[in-house]
Amino acid sequence: MKERRILVCIKPVPDPEHYDKIGIDPASKTLVRSGIPAVINPNDKNAIEAALEIREYWGGIVELVSMAPPDAEEKLREGLAMGADKAYLLSDRSFAGSDTLATARVLAAGIAKIGSFDLVITGSESADGGTTNVSPQLGEMLGLPHVCNVESITPQNEEQWQLNVKIEEGYLKVEGPTPMVVGVNDKINTPRYTTVMGIMEAEDKEVVIWSAADLEIDNDKVGLTGSPTQPGDLHEPKLQRAGKLLEGEPEVVVDKLIRLLRQAGVLNA
Amino acid sequence: MLPPEVFVVTEQVQGQLTPVSFELLGAAKKLAEEMGGASISCVLLGADIRDLGEDLASHGADKVYLAEDQRLALYQNEYYALFLTKFFKKQQPEVVLWGATAISGELAATVAARLETGLSAHCSDLHLNEEGLLVQVVPAFGGKVLGDILCPSRRPQMATVKTGIFSSLSKGEGAGEIIYEDTSILDGCSPLLKTLKVTKEKDRDTSLKEAAVVVGGGWGVGSGENWTLLERLSSLLGGAVGCTRPALDEGWTNGEHTMIGTSGITIKPKVYIGIGISGAIHHLVGIKDAEMIISINKDAKAPILSFSDYGVVADFKKVLPGLIEKIEELS
Amino acid sequence: MSIIQFDKKQEMLRRTVREFVEKEIVPIATEIDEQDTFPEELFQKMGQMGYNGIFVPREYGGAGMGYTERAILLEEISRHSAGLAMAVMTHHLGVAAILDFGTEEQKKKYLPDLCAGKKIGGLAVTEPSGGSDLMGHQSTGEKIGEDWVLNGRKCFITNSHVADVSVVTVRTGEDAKGRPALSGFIIEKGNEGFAPGHKENKFGLRGSIMGDLNINDCHVSGEALLGQEGKAAKIALSTIGGVGRPGMAAISVGILRACLEESVKFAKERVIYGKPLAKVPAIQSIIAKNRIDYEAGMLLTYQAIGIKDTGERSDTQSAIAKHYTTEAAVLAAKRTIDLMGGYGCVNEYPAGRYLRDAMTTIPSGGTTQIMELVIAGASLA
């Protein structure tokens, strides 16, 4: 059986458990996110898990790729502690401010340098920006077939894979050859816990760090200047309401509720 | 200056137009008016889609471009992207709107990469700024923050829009023009990835999105048995029941399609009644457009109370039975 | 620079244990306390995670970390279930005794399964005559040929009814000065003449089973002898003093953190007289005291364990840490209940459990008065 080489793209994001604490500084109009720890984008952990399961079944190696600031090495180590074999961190000041298209270009340049592989797996969606663009755009940059929202991956034979794709109406059954780029959803698996042995082993695994100079990349097409989309103002959605409390014994509250439902025109009786 | 045409990519699955397709026409109408009366064009890919084209033409589209081809019957990313890339290179539109669905979201990202243009995702609002640029308002961090996204230099300006944000236009006269597009560009392509089939899940109960009253339940509901109280109340009011992620995870609900919030659906009923919901941002963004929010929570500290118009601090098990009884008496 | 500096590996351990605890233990923490049941399946899972042999070298099936990492583990478990942490901590005592005093054969025979979660360990020293008074041992071991026959009763033994492998001390003779000489034995569950007896109904640290072990004409082979004949007082003292007491301190740090975090949460959310409880000066005083006790307890505990990890003796520092943290946890839990008012006394809130658990940490591994004896002895020496 042919051993597989699987690349997994991951991204550090502020922990979604703490999004309630994120806000906008009224004076500077910039994002306030201090004290919120970074985690591996939760959906990307599904991607790592999917890769590890394929490795366990078919044999092979799993390597992580991330475009992020230098301190992301720690998050890559977490992925290595989960069980990945090696990691590549693409890190350069000039990458800052990249939108999804520019990010896909950087990842594609890193993957091109890594060499041949059977599969690139990504999460479908990032928790912070909420976009689903990078996975298909990476496929385009690599000139490979790509599919996202994948809920199961079944190898048919050495080169042919079948994928179950979740759509709003149900599922699409998609089939195609490797290499390809697959974006998995958060239902495909439950990411494993990191064991203490995994943490010990991760210490000795390699994290390769590449800057823009190490990659074949057009500097005008990455970072904020190379991004077609540009961020504008930030707002906080207006969510606060009057919060008037309906007080009294249950019977009194029921009467008040009945009045409100009538007032809203949803109770005609 | 914007040329007077807003483009919408509509979608069909197994010969049925998806709800967001009509809502996109609503969004396009809003932008067209801001532009001072632009026309609305839409494009649809598929096989045997004449009827669908006419449906779109009667729902506010001035022009309906149809790519009708047996090879396009099912969504095939490579065929679809190939056609649309060429189509938009020819049309040179300023603005293209897509559904933020699994299929259109992927397709939009593919086409954006090929056109090397920008794409914002899951927009919750769209408008033009003073320079006539499309301001694409996207939720970030689960909806806690909204950010404006602009695409100043590349064209088209492209955005995906979530289902339930804009209202569909009402059905009018079938005034729109139907234009058939040449699909011979597909001849030169043999897709590597093939969509073999669509498996539809049992017909989804879509009543939640349209219901005037939505009763939402959270983890505080406590059990599947208690959940039936929510269902009783909603059925008496002709409404529907939605849920939060924790309630879904507990297995009390009717399934994932009833989950309201960031990773679920967005609703805008006349009245939303939240039961046993703490009020995490991920849920709040899905109910923020409700006309009236009433919440019942036994915890006086629950954040949901300050995001509600009216709050009841009580055990819902002591309130709902009485309310249900009263409504039954009245009707 | 702070004295206690966790490295990246230790921080990752804390994060990953926290994730495990939040998903696997938090949902059942109340149930563990209410029903006083030991979750065996969870224990197996924790073995697979590497928790059960966290400080055991890889060659014996452990995770290859040290005692500082063990303390991080116990603190994180105890934050949500001090009872379960107690069961793990006691399992570690049996493991440590075999690791530190066992022959190569004994280590190879027992440690891999104990680390992997396939077997549960325990340490049985305390007798009806007392725990810290080793010289008062009544249980006996008699050598017959190459074998031994053991008799006696052990009490207040954690993991008594669940341990598969117990390290048991008995009196096997007298030394030159006429004092009782103790010997340690590794006894497996099911060995004839060795069985759990009365099970205690404790009010705290529930979920860790505690009870008697009855030893009646229990025959074991010479291979079961742990360490040298007559030298087991050292096994007991070193394991309890060097592994048990710092373990109890780490559990108490977990309770202290629980008190701090829950009191902060409650004070911020609870509105009284139209403003959050946190605005009330008297409440702020409670929060400050809970914070001080947590920080001080943490520093003492990790300091003591850090010394042990360097290979130095840490008995005195461990006794100080245990003394301080267990007593402080009781006060912090009481203050947390005060802060919560009526809610503090309701079992739907965990503060009452913190108080019960904190009280129960005091006698485990030696009472506060015994700690004072150790600390004073070392200071006056």
A150 touches chain B (CB under 8 A): no
Lowest model confidence (mean pLDDT) among B245-249, C3-7, C16-20, C234-238:
C3-7
Q: Are the Cβ atoms of A128 and B141 closer than 8 angstroms?
A: yes
| Other chains touching B, judged by 3 or more CB pairs under 8 Å | A, C
Q: Are residues C62 and C75 located together in one domain of the fold?
A: yes
Alpha-carbon distance B319 to nearest alpha carbon in chain C (angstroms): 21
Q: What residue numbers bound the domain in which C94 lies?
A: 8-118
The phi and psi torsions of A74 (rounded to 5 degrees) equal: -60, -40
pLDDT number for residue C269: 78
Residues of B in contact with A151 (CB under 8 A): none
What pLDDT score was predicted for residue A23?
87
CA–CA separation, C65 and C44 (whole Å): 19
| Best residue in A41, A134, A224, A241 for a mutation probing chain B (most B CBs within 10 Å) | A241
The CA-based angle B314-B317-B323, given to 5 degrees, is 90
A197 touches chain C (CB under 8 A): yes
Closest partner residue to A195 among C8, C49, C58, by Cβ?
C49
Let me know if residue C2 belongs to a domain. Answer: no
Domain shared by C188 and C301, yes or no: no
> What is the pLDDT at residue B1?
47
Q: Which of the four pLDDT bands, split at 50, 70 and 90, describes residue A155?
A: confident
- The pLDDT, as a whole number, for residue C250 is 98
Q: Under an 8 A CB cutoff, do C9 and A195 touch?
A: no
pLDDT band per the 50, 70, 90 thresholds, residue A1: low
CATH (domain of C245) = 1.20.140.10
pLDDT of the residue at A85:
98
Measured CA distances, B252 to A186, B208, B281, C309 (Å): 20, 16, 21, 49
- Which segments of chain B have a pLDDT < 70? 1-3, 173-174, 202-206
Residues 258-297 of C with CB under 8 A from B: 269-271
Tell me what percent of the residues of chain A surpass a pLDDT of 90: 74
> Would you say residue C1 has pLDDT above 60?
no
Inter-chain touch C50–A77, beta carbons under 8 Å: no
DSSP assignments along B63-117, one per residue = EEEEEE-GGGSS--HHHHHHHHHHHHHHH--SEEEEE-SHHHHHHHHHHHHHHT-
Domain count, chain C: 3
The residue-averaged pLDDT of A229-248 equals 87
One DSSP character per residue, C271-288 reads EETTEEGGGSHHHHHHHH
Chain B residues within 8 Å of chain C (Cβ atoms): 300-301
Please tell me the distance from the alpha carbon of residue C361 to that of residue C204, in angstroms, as a whole number.
Answer: 8
The per-residue pLDDT of chain A, averaged, comes to: 93
CB–CB contact B330 A258 (8 Å): yes
pLDDT, position B173: 62
CB A66 within 8 A of CB A8: no
- Local structure of residue C341 (DSSP, 8 states): G
Of the candidates C169, C167, C157, the residue with the CA atom closest to the CA atom of residue C211: C157
Decide if B5-188 and B207-330 have a common fold: yes
Query: Who contacts C296 (Cβ-Cβ below 8 Å, separation ≥6)?
Result: C324, C328
Q: Which of A3-7, A8-12, A158-162, A184-188 has the lowest mean pLDDT?
A: A158-162
Banded pLDDT at C176 (limits 50, 70, 90): confident
CA distance A175 to A168: 19
For C292-330, how does the pLDDT look when each residue is reduced to its tens digit (9 = 90+)? Answer: 999 999 999 999 999 999 988 899 999 999 999 999 999
A30 touches chain B (CB under 8 A): no
Residues β-bridged to residue C8:
none
Q: Which residues of A touch C14 (CB under 8 A)?
A: none
Structure tokens at A9: 């793209």
User: Is residue C271, in this structure, part of any structural domain at all?
Assistant: yes
Decide if C1 is inside a domain: no
Give the residue from C102, C87, C311 showing the smallest Cα distance to C202.
C87
pLDDT at A263: 86
Write out the two tokens for A117.
Answer: 């592989």
Q: H/E/C letters for each residue in B149-179?
A: EECCCCCCEEEEECCCCCCCCCCCCCCCEEE
Query: What structural domains and CATH numbers belong to chain A?
Result: 4-221 (3.40.50.620)
Task: Return d(Cα C230, Cα C218) in angstroms, integer.
Answer: 18
Angle at CA of residue B250, ends B246 and B254, nearest 5° = 95
> Quick check: helix, strand or coil at residue B186?
helix
Q: What is the DSSP string of chain A?
A: -PPEEEEEE--EEE-GGGGGG-EE-TTT--EE-TTPPEEE-HHHHHHHHHHHHHHHHH-EEEEEEEE--GGGHHHHHHHHHHT-SEEEEE--GGGTT--HHHHHHHHHHHHHHH---SEEEEES--TTT----HHHHHHHHHT--EEEEEEEEEE-SSSEEEEEEEETTEEEEEEEESSEEEEE-TTS--PPPPPHHHHHHHTTSEEEEE-GGGS---GGGSTTTT-S-EEEEEE--------EE--SSHHHHHHHHHHHHHHTTS---
Q: How far apart are CA A142 and CA A116, in angstroms?
A: 11
Whether residues C8 and A200 touch (CB distance < 8 A) is answered with: no
- Across the interface, do B307 and A239 touch by the CB < 8 Å criterion? yes
Identify which of B13, B306, B323 has the shortest CB distance to residue A254: B323
A177-182 average pLDDT score: 95
pLDDT for the residue B2: 45
Give yes or no for C63 touching A (CB within 8 A).
yes
pLDDT band at A268 (very low <50, low <70, confident <90, very high): confident
Residue-wise pLDDT for A25-71, tens only, equals 888 888 888 889 999 999 999 999 999 999 998 899 999 999 999 99
Q: Is the dihedral of CA C345, C348, C353, C354 positive or negative?
A: negative
Specify the fold of B207-330.
Answer: Rossmann fold (3.40.50)
What local confidence, expressed as pLDDT, does residue B4 receive? 72
| Cβ within 8 Å, pair B319-A236 | no
Distance from CA of C336 to the nearest CA of B (A): 18
Both C241 and C370 in one domain: the answer is yes
Q: Which residue of C has its CA nearest to A82?
A: C16
Q: CA torsion C187→C192→C193→C195, rounded to 10°?
A: 70
Give the pLDDT of residue C129: 80
Nearest chain A Cα distance for residue B29, angstroms: 23
The two structure tokens encoding residue A93: 């000041």
Cβ B311–A245 below 8 Å, yes or no?
yes
> Are C26 and C138 part of one and the same domain?
no
Residue recorded with tokens 């007559």 = C230
Question: Do C270 and C239 have their domain in common?
Answer: yes
Chain-centroid distance of CA C356 in Å reads: 16
Q: Is residue C3 part of a domain?
A: no
Assess whether pLDDT exceeds 90 at residue A129. Answer: no
Same domain, yes or no, for C273 and C143?
A: no
From the number of C-beta atoms within 10 Å of its C-beta (0-12, 13-18, 19+), residue B226 rates as middle
pLDDT, tens only, C41-91: 999 999 999 999 999 999 999 999 999 999 999 999 999 999 999 999 999
In this prediction, residue C256 carries a pLDDT of: 98
State the smallest CA–CA distance between residue A21 and chain B in angstroms: 9
Task: Suggest the residue from B219, B298, B301 to mutate for an interface test with chain C (most C CBs closer than 10 A).
Answer: B301
Residue C169 above 80 pLDDT? yes
The answer to whether residue C268 scores a pLDDT higher than 90 is: no
Topology of domain B5-188, per CATH? Rossmann fold (3.40.50)
Q: Does a cis peptide bond (omega within 30 degrees of 0) precede residue A179? A: yes
C61 within some domain: yes
Residue A32 — φ and ψ, nearest 5°? -105, 115
Do C51 and C79 lie in one domain? The reply is: yes
Inspect the interface and report whether the beta carbons of C50 and A196 lie closer than 8 Å: yes
Residue C14 lies in a domain: yes
Q: Of C172, C195, C230, which one is at a domain's C-terminal end?
A: C230
Residue C2 pLDDT exceeds 80? no
Q: Which of C118, C137, C156 lies at the terminal end of a domain, its last residue?
A: C118
Pick the most confident of A103-112, A241-250, B206-215, B241-250.
A103-112
Q: For residues C238 and C339, state if they share a domain.
A: yes
- Average pLDDT of chain C to the nearest whole number: 94
Q: What's the CA angle centered on C112, arms C111 and C118, to 5 degrees?
A: 105
Hey, are the CB atoms on B118 and A101 less than 8 Å from each other? yes
Q: Is C368 part of any domain?
A: yes
- Chains A, B: CB pairs < 8 Å: 270
Q: Residue B182 gets which letter from DSSP?
A: P
What are the chain B neighbours of A242 within 8 Å (beta carbons)? 309-310
Residue whose structure tokens are 């929010």: B293
User: What residue spans define the domains of chain B?
Assistant: 5-188, 207-330
Buried b / exposed e across C59-75, counting CB within 10 Å, b at 16+? ebbbbbbbbbbbbbbbb
Residue A157: C-alpha distances to residues A160, C164, C238 (Å): 5, 47, 59
Q: What is the pLDDT of residue C132?
A: 72
Whether residue C253 has pLDDT greater than 70? yes
Pair (C214, C264) in one structural domain: no
Nearest-angstrom CA–CA distance, A22 and A15: 10
Looking at chain C, the whole-number percentage of residues with pLDDT higher than 90 is 88
- Do A188 and A153 meet the contact criterion of CB atoms below 8 Å apart? yes
